[in-house]
Amino acid sequence: MVYRAPASLLVLLPLVVFAALLLGPRVARALGAGRATGVLLVLSAGLILAITLVPMDHPGFAPDQGLACLVPDLGVLTSGTLLRFSDDFLNVALFVPLGIAIAFVPSRRRLPVLAVAALLPWAIEVTQMVLPALNRSCQAEDLTTNLLGLVVGLGLGLAVRELASLRAAG
Exposed e or buried b per residue across 12-27, where buried means at least 16 C-beta atoms within 10 angstroms of its C-beta: beeebeebbeebbbeb
Residue 81 lies in a domain: yes
Q: What is the mean pLDDT of residues 74-100?
A: 79
Q: What is the DSSP letter of 85?
A: S
Residue 118 lies in a domain: yes
**pLDDT higher than 80, residue 70:** no
Residue 110 lies in a domain: yes
Q: How many CB atoms lie within 10 A of CB 115?
A: 9
- Domain of residue 133, residue span: 7-56+69-164
Query: Which of the pair, 57 or 2, is modelled with greater confidence?
Result: 57
Residue 1 lies in a domain: no
Residue 2 lies in a domain: no
Residue 169 lies in a domain: no
- Those residues whose C-beta lies under 8 Å from the C-beta of residue 17, and which sit 6 or more positions away, are 43
Residue 113 lies in a domain: yes
Number of domain units in the chain: 1
Compute the mean pLDDT over every residue in the chain, rounded to the nearest whole number.
86
Rg of the Cα trace of the chain? 17
Residue 29 lies in a domain: yes
**pLDDT tens for each residue of 106-117:** 999 999 999 999
